[in-house]
Amino acid sequence: MKRSVKFILGGAAAVAVASASWLGAAVAADHNDPPARIGGVIDSADIADLYAWHTADAQTLKIVLTFAGPSNPAAGQAGAYDADVLYAINIDNSGDNVANTTIYVRYGQNDLGDFGVQVVGLPGEAGPISGAVETTLTGTTAKVWTGLRDDPFFFDLQGFQDTLQLGTLSFDNTRDSFAGRNVTALVIEVPVAAAIGGGSNLSIWATTSRI
């Protein structure tokens, strides 16, 4: 599965979310019904959204990848970590739509059943960052966090359905159909200078694959 974002660095923080497509097939998915699991179980390889922005001082690039959701909260619920899924976050800083940097992320489980994460290819880092999930992991200049979070995607599903039925815009910006539902999130912070190199634009896309 693939998600992509693109933005131009400026004086203020920028946020962008782009449409989704499946690699190798002309099939689209919205946030709630990836083709592989309509009516089925939640799959850790299903990307929900990809967000990217920089801080107001344009010093730090923040990337958030959400997947395996949305799901209803439950007692003892944890993130959906799958050691057989490889996550790739690609960064193009030269405008040719070819990744100059690829960040790879994998999850694993120890003998006690505890999950951890390893992230390699982080801009500005000489080696990988690894450690337990639900923990802020720090490198030389980068930070990584992953775990269960309330789905940040905002959408008024009732308003959408009413608009289709009535033919007039019926959205309510206080009504969020995804509020209180969970996704697994991967959060990465790296220096903008390390990610962008000598360029001025960043294109970022994420893919998942089973290995």
Query: pLDDT per residue over 164-193, tens digit each?
Result: 999 999 999 998 877 888 899 999 999 999
With a cut of 80, say whether residue 34 has pLDDT above it.
Answer: no
pLDDT score of 40: 56
CB 9 within 8 A of CB 55: no
Mean pLDDT of 35-57: 78
Sheet strands side by side (includes 201-210): 20-21, 2-8, 201-210, 85-92, 101-109, 115-120, 129-132
Contacts of 59 (CB under 8 A, 6+ apart): 191, 192, 193
Q: What pTM was computed for the model?
A: 0.81
DSSP state of 37: G
